[in-house]
Amino acid sequence: MMLQTYTDLTIEDLLNGDLQLATLPAIYFELTKVLDDPNTSVADVARIIDKDANLSLKLLKLVNSAFFGFPSQISSIDRAINLIGRKDIENLVLSTILIDKFSSLPGNIISMHDFWSRSLRCALLAREICLLVSTPNKLDANTLFICGLLHDIGQLVFFRRIPELAREITMLTLDSTADETDVETRLLGFDHFDTGAELVKLWKLPQIIVDSIQQHEHPEYDGDYNIEATIVRSANQLCKMNTSNCLFQLASLGIAEEDVEIAINKMLDEFEDIFKLFFPTY
How confident is the model over 35-60, as pLDDT tens digits? 999 899 999 999 999 999 999 999 99
Mean pLDDT value across residues 237-252: 87
Q: Tell the burial category of 4 from Cβ atoms under 10 Å away from its Cβ (0-12, 13-18, 19+).
A: exposed
Mean pLDDT value across the chain: 90
Q: How far apart are CA 146 and CA 46, in angstroms?
A: 21
pLDDT class of 244 with cuts at 50, 70, 90: confident
Where would I find the H helices in the chain? 11-15, 19-22, 26-35, 42-50, 53-63, 77-84, 86-101, 112-130, 141-150, 153-161, 163-174, 180-188, 192-202, 207-214, 226-239, 246-251, 257-278
Residue 240's φ and ψ, nearest 5 degrees, are -95, 10
Query: Where on the phi/psi map is residue 260: left (φ > 0), alpha (ψ -120 to 50), or beta?
Result: alpha
Q: pTM of the entire structure?
A: 0.91
Residue type at position 185 = T
Give residue-wise pLDDT tens across range 173-194. 887 677 899 999 999 999 999 9
Q: Tell the burial category of 7 from Cβ atoms under 10 Å away from its Cβ (0-12, 13-18, 19+).
A: exposed
Give residue-wise pLDDT tens across range 78-125. 999 999 999 899 999 999 999 988 887 765 677 889 999 999 999 999
Q: How far apart are CA 113 and CA 122, in angstroms?
A: 14
